[in-house]
Chain A
């Protein structure tokens, strides 16, 4: 396996604030690489440097063997991008948007028609191809952007928060296309997301990013293995008392309060449940609910950062929305 992306000490600072801090990552050809982290972790900045939109403050990065600073045009020809924010022309039809992209990326004119039909088919938009984009739903626009990113047969496809703001059904759709791509095209996918399930279900390897650094990088399964055991979540009338009891009587110390519930990380969760309930009832703590689950990426993130992943602040969306409203007023 060769590396299609390689960075060395890649750094980007904005006015003294380090957004990406000495990043060393290598992405293998053909894999789906997930960059997971909260908003502001530096995911988009990283992608922007790899896509030649931003120049690194220091360090180097190579995409498809080309340097992102010195050989920017070659890099641009090698990549497809689906931006976090919408980037289609809504006064043109789907087909026109694709045609334009094909021209901008130097697709041979003889192949325009066949490639456009090919990608339209992939994202199941053939029926709507000749409608103006402004009549598309958010999910359809996203699918068109995905199609657009593929027309010039890129070696690497960057997906920056591909399913943000989409309904669950559309998200499933997009995920299916990405998996399909991996199977049918020789393409490497780099995906940023702050959705745990998205990273989990799509990525071959996941890099957890926080404050500009990669704090863990491995397959989803291995990342989960680094956690010790299962998670028991308890809702009860007196959490502090319960927490103290469990520590005292059962030596359960990996305990924290999250969203009004007690979360306990422990080995052999199943066999511990009866004793936990017993201990609580014997000491007059009333348990409202109790549940057990295997660790997920959320726990992994918590494990490495000590925080739960922050929800996307939604800064970007309202800005676009206000523009849409303004347009309507005009």
Chain B
């Protein structure tokens, strides 16, 4: 019971902090909007007739949702560094609850925040006319949450090893961009050269994006699908479990 309430209070803290940060919520519109409108229209215009049955904007829309989940989730790790820097981490770490609950509370909280960001992008897609199926929106929510668990766990794990905010910036180059470019977010992976296709298949985000596309694009995506929906979800969930174990271990060694 104590563990559960510890978990709940840590979750609540992350979400409260996020909701108070209006700037972060408002700015979360900007990047996806640029990708969808400027990048999507620009590339789409020079690729006319590239993928039968799909226009380019529609194709990258679920990819940009995935990208938002990726970048937001990774960025959440920074809260661990803040907490360490400002001493708040000590208050949490000496509390009489397990590191598993601490990690899980923080992870769920950050995932909730990332989920809100992802949902905002999907709603943006509604506004831009890229999708119009409210059922698909609701099916996307649990899938997005599953995607964020693993990604947030990566961010938290890395941050738990880091001492300064400066070094956290390296995540952008070493993790965010490779995972993004190799996830099939901007192009289907079928026609890629072998090495790139194999690299993409090792990337858990590939299956997350694939699942989102299956839900949001429906039949039009069928020919390009990487895996059936349930397999996608299974792979993402498996990755989540592994990352939660790693993250709990990483939090356990934090002082």
Contacts and interface: CB of A to CB of B under 8 A. Distances in A.
Interface stretch (A15-23, A96-104, A219-227): A96-104
Interface in B90-126: 90-97
Contacts of B88: 87-89
A328 B165 CA distance: 14
B6 A91 contact: no
B87 A104 contact: no
Interface in A44-95: 51-54, 73-74, 76-77, 81, 83, 85-92
Nearest to A100: B9
B90 A76 contact: no
A164 to B, nearest CB: 13
Given A54-B255, A326-B165, A104 B95 contact: yes
A306 to B, nearest CB: 34
A77 B96 contact: yes
A86 B87 contact: yes
Given A73-B96, A89-B13, A106 B5 contact: yes
B97 A104 contact: yes
B94 A90 contact: no
Contacts of A90: 86
A323 interface: yes
A326 B81 CA distance: 13
Contacts of B12: 100
A294 B97 CA distance: 50
Interface residues of A, number: 31
Given A54-B255, A91-B17, A92-B17, A105 B90 contact: no
Given A83-B87, A87-B90, A91-B20, A105 B95 contact: yes
B2 A106 contact: yes
A87 B87 contact: yes
A83 B90 contact: yes
Interface residues of B, number: 27
B85 A101 contact: no
Contacts of A86: 86-87
Nearest to A75: B96
Nearest to B92: A104
A96 B94 contact: no
A320 interface: yes
B91 to A, nearest CB: 4
A70 to B, nearest CB: 14
Contacts of A326: 165
Interface in A270-298: none
Contact of A87 (B6, B16, B91): B91
B239 interface: no
Contacts of B13: 89, 92, 96, 100
B20 A101 contact: no
Contacts of A89: 13, 17, 86, 88
Interface string B3-19: 00110111011001100
A103 B9 contact: yes
B9 A104 contact: yes
Contacts of A323: 85-86
Interface string A9-43: 00000000000000000000000000000000000
A77 B165 CA distance: 32
B13 to A, nearest CB: 6
A52 B99 CA distance: 14
Contact of A320 (B1, B5, B86): B86
A85 B84 CA distance: 11
A223 to B, nearest CB: 32
B87 A76 contact: no
Contacts of B16: 91-92, 96
Specify which of A74, A81, A85, A87 lies most central, judged by the most chain B CB atoms within 10 Å of its CB: A87
Specify which of B5, B10, B21, B165 lies most central, judged by the most chain A CB atoms within 10 Å of its CB: B5
B91 A76 contact: no
B85 to A, nearest CB: 4
Nearest to A109: B5
B165 A53 contact: no
Given A76-B96, A91-B17, A323-B85, 4 more contacts: A81-B94, A87-B86, A91-B16, A91-B21
15 contacts: A74-B96, A76-B94, A77-B96, A85-B90, A87-B87, A88-B91, A89-B13, A89-B17, A91-B17, A100-B13, A101-B91, A103-B5, A103-B8, A105-B96, A106-B1
Which A-B residue pairs are the 5 nearest by beta carbons? A103-B9, A76-B96, A104-B95, A87-B87, A106-B2
Interface of A: 51-54, 73-74, 76-77, 81, 83, 85-92, 96, 99-101, 103-106, 109, 148, 320, 323, 326
